Amino acid sequence: MSDGRISTAKIALNNIRHRRFRSACIVSLIAVTTFLITGGTLLGFSLRNGVEGIDSRLGADAMIVPMSAGDSFEGALLSGSPSIF
């Protein structure tokens, strides 16, 4: 600073040096905001992948059985295996 020139970098460094509490608060807020945005994005992607994984493993929502089968289809419903009536 002995050369007498004023530059943007010198003004910014003087501002940070003389107002340390404000600068620390701004840096803290930026860090917290970055953490929240990154965490929210990762959580969203994880939830989406989990729902897609569960959706791919689900079977049929309806089970059609002949009237003559009666109550014998309950075993097929609980075990999840293909059955013939």
1 assigned to some structural domain? no
51 assigned to some structural domain? yes
More confident residue, 72 or 45: 45
User: How large is the average pLDDT for residues 56-69?
Assistant: 71
User: How large is the average pLDDT for residues 80-84?
Assistant: 65
Please determine, for residue 17, whether its predicted confidence score (pLDDT) is greater than 80: yes
User: How large is the average pLDDT for residues 19-47?
Assistant: 96
Task: Look over the chain and give the mean of its residue pLDDT values, rounded to a whole number.
Answer: 83
Q: What is the dihedral of CA 48, 54, 57, 60, to 10 degrees?
A: -110
39 assigned to some structural domain? yes
Report the number of distinct structural domains present in the chain: 1
46 assigned to some structural domain? yes
Cβ proximity of 75 and 85 under 8 Å: no
3 assigned to some structural domain? no
Would you state the pLDDT for residue 55?
80
85 assigned to some structural domain? no
Cα separation, 46 vs 57, whole angstroms: 17
- Owning domain of residue 45: 8-79
64 assigned to some structural domain? yes
Would you state the pLDDT for residue 31?
98
More confident residue, 81 or 44: 44
24 assigned to some structural domain? yes
